[in-house]
Structure 1
Amino acid sequence: MLPMKCFSRLNCNLISRRIISLSCPVCHTHSNQTLPQIFTGQMDRFNGITIDSSSEKLVDKDYFSRKLDESLAKWTEEQRRCIWFKVNIKDSMQVPILAQVSVILKDDYVMMFKWLPLDCEPNLPPASHTNLGVGGLVFNNKDQLLAVSEKNYTYGHWKLPGGYVERGEDIIDAAVREIKEETGVDAAFQSLITFRHVHDMMFGNSDIYVLLMMTALSEKISKSEREVQECKWMNIEEYVNHPNVSEFNRLVVHKALKYKSKNLKMEFKKRTFKWPTFVRVINFLNVEI
């Protein structure tokens, strides 16, 4: 049994081979036919498109395949970025076609299950129901903090550098990586500040975002041209009073300053723990006063 919803990510850079076949009448079995119009979809602020199969009128596999070819060719020409397909259970025949040109979110496979007991409901957590991200509040020795303004936003903002934690990556390592990627600044971990937990985020998932206090090891900025519109060192007072800084980020800065004044440090410890049948390497929170 297929899960009720299946998301497949299509990277337009990976489908050139399939698009080339459109320009070759010999290669394409439907060269003498009128190709269907492209999928409608919903644009997002990252220049991507999400297609919902329940909103598209599709006749059969051949029709879907031809419409996919033309859509991908058009979106590549328009320099779109990530294309998402939300496949309803009734349209499951689309999955093997999409798999030929997509990067599946679970590496190279799709996990499906069939719950057999009839006397109870499945107690399995939904796949990828919570995202994990990390942000870094980076201080230098001039009472300044590192602020970024990202591309693809529809409103003015100054935020803290950060992003998603990758699979198998420790939270601190993710913060160091994201700060370096976005700003070019090297930073070292000092303390956990706080975290936020919100719901109904991307694809309806919950979202946990961890905020860390970091110390700058370098100050020269080399911003990511792909992600960042502007990046600079800002005086702390300027940042907390700036109209384009969110209320939550102001709270984060105030908490960090309070922790520093009281010499309070919340750090992560990593240890190996043993159980009767397995061993785990665990990161856990440790508070030093």
Structure 2
Amino acid sequence: MRKLMGAMLLANSYSKISNFDNIIIDSYKGCHIKSDLNKYIKDRGLFKQDLQELIGISKCNKNTSIWIELQKEQLGLAQTLIEEGFKMHRVAGDILQFSKWLGDGESRLPSQATHYVGVGGIVVKDNNVLLVQEKNGQRRGAWGTPGGLVDQKESIIEAVIREVKEETNLDCKVEDVLYFREMHDARFGKTDLYFAFKLQCLDEAQIKICEQELMDYRWVPIDQILDFLKKENQKTHVINFYKSVQERLVGQQYKYIKIEESQELYYGQMKYYAIFKPRF
């Protein structure tokens, strides 16, 4: 594996040989500074001295890296970190994280998050598919599938059910994955992954579109989707997307993907786990 991925932290400490009183070593021998850094805010010289000492100790102990997080009130220490060869790794809320690779050659540390994950719900009811018309942004007036971005710690299955409910008030059940695609250099230059699910509509009568996000909706017969989109002058990539969806909806059952959800033990904790595989 080229990159040293996120690791379980181990309860080791350098407190006896470093002025940083709380340091944890992860399972890849990465050194994580967990000390209170507020004392350094008015004494950057001391921060630089202690940092240089720790770098030397860590290299002697053959540690792979050093990680440190700055709170928003500690950002004045960032310049010292940069001077000592640390790289900005990620921003999360009020935290700016830095890392320094200590090994030889190119850094093997993982980069910050590089993907967005989006979901869309192909809602099916009596051989009709639900299409919604966007109200805002560059896609204003465009017809498509209800959906959106997956929230942190939310599964893609949970996300598509939530998004469809928020946009249309419909309660649905996920049946299959009909389509997924990858697109690079999307928003903020990140890679965009998009999963389209086939959803069974449980109660068509309760539909009520979100007026802040949508202009209108239509239940369109599956075999008329492409004609409808062409009549509405939709973009080619949208029509091609629904051509694939149409092919899957009228195809044989074995083409669909089976979803197996479970709980799996990962680093000592039970984690949500989902497998998507073809039905043969």
Query: Compared with structure 1, are the counterparts of its residues 230 and 284 closer, same or farther at alpha carbon in structure 2 (3 Å cutoff)?
Result: same
What letter is aligned with 2:223?
E
* Highest RCO, 1 vs 2 (Cα 8 Å, sep ≥ 6): 1
Query: Compared with structure 1, are the counterparts of its residues 133 and 126 closer, same or farther at alpha carbon in structure 2 (3 Å cutoff)?
Result: same
Alignment of 1:129 onto 2:114: yes
Residue of 248, 251, 254 corresponding to 2:243: 251
Query: Compared with structure 1, are the counterparts of its residues 116 and 266 closer, same or farther at alpha carbon in structure 2 (3 Å cutoff)?
Result: closer
Query: Compared with structure 1, are the counterparts of its residues 121 and 274 closer, same or farther at alpha carbon in structure 2 (3 Å cutoff)?
Result: same
What letter is aligned with 1:267?
K
What letter is aligned with 2:118?
G
Q: In the TM superposition, what whole-angstrom CA distance separates every residue of 1:108-140 from its partner, at most 9, and x where no partner exists?
A: x32311314162232233322100011011110
What letter is aligned with 2:130?
L
Moved segments of 4+, more than 6 Å = none
Residue of 187, 192, 199 corresponding to 2:184: 199
What letter is aligned with 1:223?
I
Q: Distance in 2 between matches of 1:222 and 1:275?
A: 41
The CA RMSD over aligned residues, in Å, is 2.6
What letter is aligned with 2:115?
T
Q: Which residue of 2 aligns with 1:158?
A: 143
Gap regions ≥5 residues in structure 2: 1-74, 79-89
Alignment of 1:287 onto 2:278: yes
Query: Compared with structure 1, are the counterparts of its residues 248 and 267 closer, same or farther at alpha carbon in structure 2 (3 Å cutoff)?
Result: same
Q: In the TM superposition, what whole-angstrom CA distance separates every residue of 1:175-207 from its partner, at most 9, and x where no partner exists?
A: 111111111111111111120000001100000
Query: Compared with structure 1, are the counterparts of its residues 172 and 118 closer, same or farther at alpha carbon in structure 2 (3 Å cutoff)?
Result: closer
Q: Which residue of 1 aligns with 2:258?
A: 267
Q: Aligned residue pairs: how many?
A: 186
Q: In the TM superposition, what whole-angstrom CA distance separates every residue of 1:239-286 from its partner, at most 9, and x where no partner exists?
A: 222224413322332232244x34543122123334686654321113
Higher alpha-carbon Rg: 2
Q: Distance in 1 between matches of 2:267 and 2:124?
A: 44
Q: Distance in 2 between matches of 1:179 and 1:105?
A: 30
Q: Which residue of 1 aligns with 2:17?
A: none
The alignment's TM-score, normalised by the length of structure 1, stands at 0.57
Q: Distance in 1 between matches of 2:188 and 2:263?
A: 35
The alignment's TM-score, normalised by the length of structure 2, stands at 0.59
Give 1 or 2: higher strand fraction. Answer: 2
Q: Distance in 1 between matches of 2:216 and 2:168?
A: 9
